[in-house]
Amino acid sequence: MKKFLGIMAVLFGFLSCNDGDVTVKSISFAEIENAASCGDLVYKINGTDAMIIKITNATTTAFINTVGVREIAITGTTKVIYRTYSATPSTDNFCGVPPAATPSLAEEWTAIGGTIQITTTAKKSTPNATTGATSIIGYNHNIILKNITFQKPVGTQSYDTFVFGNFTTSTTLTYPFSSSALSKCSTTKLYSQIDKEALLLDNLDPTLFANAVTTTPRVANLSNTTNKLRYLVYNGTLPTAYFCNTTTPTTPTLTESWEVDNTTTQATIEVTTTSVGSGTNVVYTHKIYLKKVNLKKDNISFYLGDSYYLGDITTP
């Protein structure tokens, strides 16, 4: 019996050893609602723990404002790092130049393999109570680390799936354009632009702008061929009369094109015409409304509203 108890004591002692190769530390960041960022770093802080993702040119390669799923391999330039500090760290520990020395770093793990999966979805505003209009107010990037292995000070720790959580980016879109003057190249091409963005009406039916006062609005369907409406975003400020050039300028470059989506409702253009003056001095003013317009890019869309005032043009 004594021999048996002795063997059991030795065995229990062996199993209780803190073998670095098999010790698994529980870490979690999923409950932290949204990640912070600076430069190419995206990070989360949970108490004294931090998880850092570094992707070169992150805003143009990973966290782009396009709906979809992207996977990026963890390599020498794409890094995932877990850290624990002596106290709760702050932004200065990751974004400071140089990084803050306090609190001190207690332990660091570096990912030596795996994939960063990023699923991007659009965030819409609450519909306007009067018009129903919505806008894209940002993009949510849900981050999951797949088949990731961390090199620890002693041993490794692996996960088939590790939920990092969400990172949100804002959008720079400045629509609506009602505060911007409506310009015309002709009565078949109209545009309204602000900085890098424009609403372009092209291949319009010229009879919409006939020089005759209306008693009821002239109405035509909008489509992606005739009476074509597009919302366009460029990588630089649009010069005056950019859309009136015979040949499209090479700069700035088009980065986003949103087109009319008539899947749920038929979008229309409505024109009401008034006049001032008489004889050869008469001037006609054409007031333009866009009705029930959904604009779509890829598989996301926003609604201009039940009735959207675009602006006026005049004809002699």
- pTM of the shown model: 0.78
What's the confidence (pLDDT) of residue 22? 53
What's the confidence (pLDDT) of residue 189? 95
Measured from the Cβ of residue 81, the count of other Cβ atoms closer than 10 Å reads: 17
In angstroms, the CA 178 to CA 250 distance is 28
In angstroms, the CA 247 to CA 87 distance is 61
What's the confidence (pLDDT) of residue 146? 98
CA dihedral 300, 306, 311, 312 (to 10 degrees): 140
User: Which residues fall within 8 angstroms of residue 283, CB to CB, at 6 or more apart?
Assistant: 275, 276, 277, 314, 315, 316
What's the confidence (pLDDT) of residue 174? 60
Q: Which amino acid, 254? A: L
Give me the residues of the chain with pLDDT under 50, please: 1-21
In angstroms, the CA 147 to CA 165 distance is 16
Helix (H, G, I), strand (E, B) or coil at 128: coil
What's the confidence (pLDDT) of residue 187? 87
In angstroms, the CA 227 to CA 277 distance is 30
What's the confidence (pLDDT) of residue 73? 96
What's the confidence (pLDDT) of residue 241? 86
In angstroms, the CA 123 to CA 139 distance is 5
What's the confidence (pLDDT) of residue 176? 58
Cα angle for residues 15, 159, 59 (degrees, 5° grid):
150
What's the confidence (pLDDT) of residue 227? 97
DSSP for 71-86? EEE--SSSEEEEEEES
What's the confidence (pLDDT) of residue 178? 54
User: Which residues fall within 8 angstroms of residue 199, CB to CB, at 6 or more apart?
Assistant: 175, 177, 191, 192, 193, 229, 230, 231, 232, 310
In angstroms, the CA 126 to CA 134 distance is 6
Domain boundaries, the chain: 26-170, 183-315
What's the confidence (pLDDT) of residue 9? 37
Residue 151 and residue 283 in contact, taking contact as beta carbons nearer than 8 Å? no
